[in-house]
Amino acid sequence: MHEMSIAEGIRDVIEDSARANGFSRVTRVRLEIGRFAGVETEALDFAFDVVMRGSVAEGATLEVIELPGKALCYDCGAAVEIRHRLDPCPDCGGGKLLVQGGEEMRIKDLEVL
């Protein structure tokens, strides 16, 4: 379950930010996760609750914002949104797509006290 190590990484970033910016509590964490990032959000939510115990983010709400899959079609040149990596171009039906978005994962912001 790599979601546990993802949650640990999030905790480390939060703790570093708390030390650097002088806040003592996080009430909400908003994460942007791309459709193709391979993260199970239910597992991440569970891991987040477990890993944040004893940290400045204990009891914080995790909000996941799913980012769409994006690709460039080599057949028609369109920038398109796709649901699955191997989907054809929704504009022309072509199969030569270069994924250009949807693999990212980042902390968008923190709500702190």
Three-class DSSP category at 79: strand
Determine whether the annotation assigns residue 98 to a binding site. Answer: no
62 known member of a binding site: no
Residue 76 annotated as binding site: yes
Is 92 marked as a binding-site residue? yes
Q: Which among 49, 35, 48, 24 has a CA at the least distance from the CA of 85? A: 35
Query: CA-CA distance, 49 to 79, in Å (whole number)?
Result: 37
Q: Please check if 106 is assigned to a binding site.
A: no
Q: Which residues are annotated as a binding site for Ni(2+)?
A: 2
**Which residue numbers belong to the known binding site?**
2, 73, 76, 89, 92
- The annotated binding site for Zn(2+) is made up of 73, 76, 89, 92
